[in-house]
Structure formats: C-alpha cells, structure tokens
Amino acid sequence: MISAGIRELKTHLSTYVRKVKAGETVQITEHGKGVAFITLSAEQTEERRVLEQMARDGLVILGNGGRPKGGSLKYKLKKGAKLTSEIILEDRKW
C-alpha cells in the first residue's frame, strides 16, 4: 500500500490511478492521518483475477497494464458473418 497527501494526489492523480489499476491500494492522508483508500472495485478485482487465470492457462499474455496482448487461440468467422464493429456501424446508420 502506498500513501499520498491530498495535494500530492491532486497533482499526480493520473499516476496514482495507474497504480491502482495495476493492483496497488492508495491511502489518502490529510495532515498525516489516513482519511480514505482508493482500491479496485470488486468488479475490476474479479476481472483481474480472470485475466490472471487466463494468463496462467496460457490463453493470454499480460503486459504492464494487466491487459491481454494476445492468445494462442485463433478464431475464424463463418463465411458471410459480420464483425461486431460492422454490425454496430450499421445500427448507427439511420
């Protein structure tokens, strides 16, 4: 766990958010006393657990940010099938 005063947190918020996304917990202090914590939400924690399990199973390779970089499984679309992005773009056209 790392600590940061309110002024420090305000000045470098994006840095602390990146650290929280990477799994760190940040304790916010005011005049040297802890007042709050910033942690991953339960949903993000579960997502991270699933990604880490997929990495252990060799399905994805995690980078610094904990995001998948690719896996060993290859998928092919059925002939005539559309990509999700194509379907979304079609729906956006009136």
What pLDDT sits at residue 88? 82
Q: Can you tell me the distance from the alpha carbon of 3 to that of 72, in angstroms, rounded to the nearest whole number?
A: 39
Strand order in the sheet with 26-30: 2-5, 26-30, 33-38
- 32-72 pLDDT tens trace: 999 999 998 877 778 878 888 888 888 777 766 555 566 55
Strand boundaries in 6-74, DSSP class E: 26-30, 33-38
Kindly state the tokens that stand for 6.
Answer: 């309110």
Q: Can you tell me the distance from the alpha carbon of 89 to that of 94, in angstroms, rounded to the nearest whole number?
A: 10
Phi, psi of 32 (to 5 degrees): 80, 0
Structural domains of the chain, count:
2
Three-state DSSP state, 4: strand
What pLDDT sits at residue 51? 81
- pTM over 0.75, yes/no: no
- Mean pLDDT score of the chain, rounded to an integer? 82
By residue range, what is the domain housing residue 70? Answer: 42-94
Give yes or no: residues 46 and 73 share one domain: yes
Give yes or no: residues 84 and 47 share one domain: yes
Give yes or no: residues 35 and 61 share one domain: no
Q: Kindly state the average pLDDT of the residues 5-31.
A: 92
pLDDT at 11 over 70: yes
Phi, psi of 91 (to 5 degrees): -65, -30
Query: What region, left, alpha or beta, does residue 19 occupy, with left being phi > 0 and alpha being psi -120 to 50 degrees?
Result: alpha
Give yes or no: residues 48 and 64 share one domain: yes
Give yes or no: residues 29 and 48 share one domain: no
